Amino acid sequence: MKIAFIVWRFPVLSEAFILNQITGLIERGHDVHIHPVNGLPKNYNGKVHPVVEEYKLLERTHFPPTVPENLALRFLKGLGLLLKNVDKGSLKTLQLFNSQKYGSEVATLKTFYRTVSLLQDGAYDIIHCQFGTLAPIALAYRDAGIIQGKLITTFRGIDISKYVQENGANVYDQLFKEGEFFLANCEFFGNRAISLGCDSARLVVHGSGLDCRKFSFKPRYFPANGRVNIATTGRLVEKKGIEYAIRAVAKIVESHPNIEYNIIGDGELKEHFDKLIAELNVGNIVKLLGWKQQKEIVEILDNSHIFVAPSVTAADGNQDAPVNTLKEAMAMGLPVISTIHGGIPELVQDGISGFLVRERDANAIADKLSYLIQHSEDWEKMGKAGRTRVEDKYDMNKLNDELVAIYQQMLNAGLPQETLESARELTRI
């Protein structure tokens, strides 16, 4: 199969779940092309996930031309590209400037820049939009004859939470009518898509996969030196709820002084967290480590004893699916503390692989941290349960086999309902 992955930017270090799908499809013999509508990530410094180099993914990536900041230059360059590509059908793109038909996201000069790479070769078997917010763009391109193929859309979180809150419950009406198939990375978001009007017969829950081979399991025991290492991995943004974990650690320092809390990640709240750590007088305990490569993250987690993922619903409505960093920690055998939030309860079984607490409840996080520190005999059992859960529900290889099966079902026009149902059962997790 020839498959187009439509993404916002590429390569993005935090989107390993997309890389896992791309490499899995390549390994299965499929021809994958990557179309980042906004080009490289902002502040791109050349650092990429190791598999980007291993699979030479940049050679499969079709970057749009750079859009000049100056409006006059933007228009002149766009006009030049339009004329240069007339023989490739560039005039078809002019209809995309109809804002009443295609909406404000599509009807801009930037849209033409985004279509240039598709004018070279836009014929695909499958067009896979990796976030619902990309689907209106792909629909417009397909309607204009710039790209061809069956359209499948994956809802991953922000697109089915914050985006809907900002744009209204009808924002996906056209997509639900014209898109061939839909995936949701957890039941929580799948049910939300159905409540917004998605046909349940054309949607399956298909989790974000993890390469469990890269996260070796190790039973956790109380350390000989008595120092318990706690870890969190995630962007320093409101949705990750890290402030409440910092406050929780500060609450237990007096009773458990021999602890260390390492936070891996960076983001807009770094300065706020620096001030909070100083205010709580826990600078000797809580460490903001910044971004790390996957190898470094694995090393830090390998030397940790407890993992905390305190996700919350952000003020703008943004929510999490089962967090991939949480899967990684569980795969490595760490007992975890997380929140009753979004799709996380589908991953963490309360009292079995760790604990779930209410959002924004630093006291509850502190209580569970104290319990785990005092009951290290539970760590090994919880760690094994977590590893089993990740292997059963989120193994990358199994999920990639299921993804191929979904694609194949989509390409077989006129499938009887029982055939479609068998595909849905295959992918149900």
As a whole number of angstroms, the distance between CA 341 and CA 356 comes to 9
- Residue reference for tokens 């809150």: 165
Task: Give the bridge partners for 129, in sequence order.
Answer: 6, 153
* Domain limits, the chain: 2-205, 212-393
As a whole number of angstroms, the distance between CA 88 and CA 96 comes to 16
As a whole number of angstroms, the distance between CA 155 and CA 182 comes to 8
Q: What is the pLDDT of residue 425?
A: 54
As a whole number of angstroms, the distance between CA 286 and CA 351 comes to 26
Instruction: Report the topology of domain 212-393.
Output: Rossmann fold (3.40.50)
Give average pLDDT by consecutive 10-residue segment, the chain, 429 residues.
95 87 96 93 80 92 91 90 88 85 80 85 93 91 92 94 92 94 95 96 93 94 96 96 98 96 96 97 96 90 97 93 93 98 96 97 98 97 97 94 94 59 49
As a whole number of angstroms, the distance between CA 268 and CA 131 comes to 22
Letter string b/e over residues 127-165, b meaning 16 or more CB atoms within 10 A of that residue's CB: bbbbbbbbbbbbbbbbbbebbebbbbbbbbbbbbbbbbe
Asked whether 33 and 57 are in contact (CB, 8 A), the reply is: no
Q: What is the pLDDT of residue 152?
A: 97
Q: What is the pLDDT of residue 42?
A: 80
- Asked if the domains 2-205 and 212-393 are classified in one and the same CATH topology, the answer is yes
Q: What is the pLDDT of residue 155?
A: 96
Q: Nearest-CA neighbor of 327 among 186, 221, 200? A: 186
Q: What is the pLDDT of residue 413?
A: 66
Q: What is the pLDDT of residue 105?
A: 75
Q: What is the pLDDT of residue 429?
A: 39
As a whole number of angstroms, the distance between CA 422 and CA 251 comes to 51
Q: What is the pLDDT of residue 106?
A: 82
Q: What is the pLDDT of residue 421?
A: 57
Instruction: Report the topology of domain 2-205.
Output: Rossmann fold (3.40.50)
Q: Is the pTM of this model over 0.95?
A: no
